[in-house]
Amino acid sequence: MLRRSAPSPRRRRPNSRRAALVRATAVAAAAASIAAACSSGESALEIDGGATATTAAPPDDTTASTGGTTEATSPGDTAPASTTTQAPLAGLADCPTGALAGAQGVVEITFWHALNDVLEDALIELTDAYNAGQDAVRVTLQNQIGYDEALDKYIQSSGDSRPDMIQIPEFALQSFAQSDTLIPAGACIESSGFDTSTLLERALDTYAFEGVVWSMPFNVSNPVLYYLRPKFEAAGLDPDVSPITLEELRTTSQQLVDSGAATYGWVLDSGPNSGGAWFLEQWSARAGELYADNENGRSAPATEVLFDGPTGVELLTFVQEMIDDELAVSIGDNSGGQDTYLKLIDPQADGAMTIGTSAALGGVIAALGSGLAPGLTTDDVAVGPMPGPSPDPSANLGGASLAIVDGKGDEKTAAAWDYITYLVTAEAQSQWASQTGYVPVRTDAPDLEPLRSTYADDPRFRVAYDQMVGGIDGQASLAPVLGPQREVRVATANATAAIIAGADVESTLADAAAQANALIASYNQRN
């Protein structure tokens, strides 16, 4: 599948092309903006004495909210997720979506979120509009800084000290589903007759575990390729055409390096939520390979990972050879999320391309607009689909979802559902995606303003959406759900870092798989 070409003699571009140094203040501001979008925190979490937080995915359903009362777009015409059924809802917490109608006075609810900078600003704007547009519900946003912080605080709290709603990142789905602290979104969909027909099917399916949708997809992202157009032009490459396959990523990197347009073609990292682990999950899906058994842990809890098979070995061998041939460079863990982007403008040893979350696009554009990189404009950064082992652009979803906390009373549950359905209306999703770079979770949102104009005027924002709605179907196209997903990603990231440093690919991946399987066995025994 992936063939290694003979390396060419390496030629470096004169340093004079990067004579201008970035100001420290600009770097700091840009780093904060980009990191806010890139951060998807991960931590080992125990909920109610047992469940370790792992990959969480948003559910799939959409409703129109008016005047504080949830109204299905087409009552009785519900379109459930293709991989979900209503039968599993038996025995789970009910969702009394009609309770808001009998409320005496305004129902106050709190929402713990982990969005910052431009993302938080966009959420505040939507929430202010919701609060002003009806008189039944009042939402108070409480910023928890990051996903880790929010989940840690949630786990350490109980009862009344917990919020009415919480944002659940994609790595925490199974643990929250098994925590007995949530009201399943699927129960709210069923209770309200919520029409899911315009929700992205993949988003809906992604946030289901054992046939139940547990949370509502909201800030949805996937990885895309960021690259600098001037460097492509300097290398004689078409700046409007980006590499789609890994082989094309290699040949493009070779031309960039050979021409002197960049020191390295591809910049990557070994972080758990990016190049060290997340990309392996993505590439496995692009290859049509399951990452874990039991249909990626979705039909039943996973018992073992599968990433150490021939495909995984081939993928990590590709990464190692790109490093060995000096066509790619790793900047390490990249815990802040911005170092891969800053490497593109390194005045000493720069790169031309990097893979990162689509949610960073707004921050990247803002950083260039701030003068972070003298000589580069906001139009000089281009976006293409994530290169992978298949010519069909496709990606698993990342990001986070909206969940309702159980035990807060019927009125608060109904109020939270009303607010959630407002956030996933076509109008709200159009505004949200246009302002942030996140992917809308509805198929009709791109037809509305302002997103329609955003996609027309700046096609960079549409790449992630097209990548999500197209590409490879099947169970492998849904992200793996693992109880100890955070720990598994760390084990995989450590293995990737070792492979980048020259370790034997096959044995290193086998060791990582053994660690992952031990973590899964321990988790399953507790749950």
Question: Domain residues of the chain, as ranges?
Answer: 46-79+101-220+397-448, 223-395+477-526
Q: What is the pLDDT of residues 152-167, one digit of tens each?
A: 899 888 888 999 999 9
Asked whether 294 and 300 are in contact (CB, 8 A), the reply is: yes
Asked whether 320 and 505 are in contact (CB, 8 A), the reply is: yes
Asked whether 443 and 369 are in contact (CB, 8 A), the reply is: no
Distance CA 282, CA 464 (A): 13
DSSP state of 53: P
For the ranges 54-68, 173-187, 320-334, the maximum mean pLDDT occurs at 320-334
Per the document, the length of the chain is 527
For the ranges 54-68, 243-257, 265-279, 324-338, the maximum mean pLDDT occurs at 243-257
* 437 φ/ψ sector (left φ>0, alpha ψ -120 to 50, else beta): left
User: Between these two residues, 162 and 37, which has the higher pLDDT value?
Assistant: 162
Instruction: Output the CATH code of domain 46-79+101-220+397-448.
Output: 3.40.190.10
Task: Calculate the average pLDDT of the chain.
Answer: 84
Judged against a pLDDT cut of 80, whether residue 130 lies above it is answered with yes
pLDDT at 473: 66
Where does the pLDDT of residue 52 fall: very low under 50, low under 70, confident under 90, or very high at 90 and above?
very low
Q: What is the pLDDT of residues 310-320, one digit of tens each?
A: 999 999 999 99
Q: What is the pLDDT of residues 304-352, one digit of tens each?
A: 999 999 999 999 999 999 999 999 999 999 877 889 999 999 999 999 9
Instruction: Output the CATH code of domain 223-395+477-526.
Output: 3.40.190.10
Mean pLDDT, range 9-28, rounded to an integer: 33
Distance CA 158, CA 250 (A): 51
Element housing 166 (H / E): strand 165-169
Sign of the four-CA dihedral 31, 36, 42, 46: positive
Same topology, domains 46-79+101-220+397-448 and 223-395+477-526? Answer is yes
Asked whether 197 and 373 are in contact (CB, 8 A), the reply is: no
Distance CA 520, CA 518 (A): 5
Judged against a pLDDT cut of 60, whether residue 101 lies above it is answered with yes
pLDDT at 309: 96
Q: What is the pLDDT of residues 352-368, one digit of tens each?
A: 999 999 988 888 988 89
Tell me the Cα Rg of the chain.
23
- CA 214 from chain centre, in angstroms, equals 17
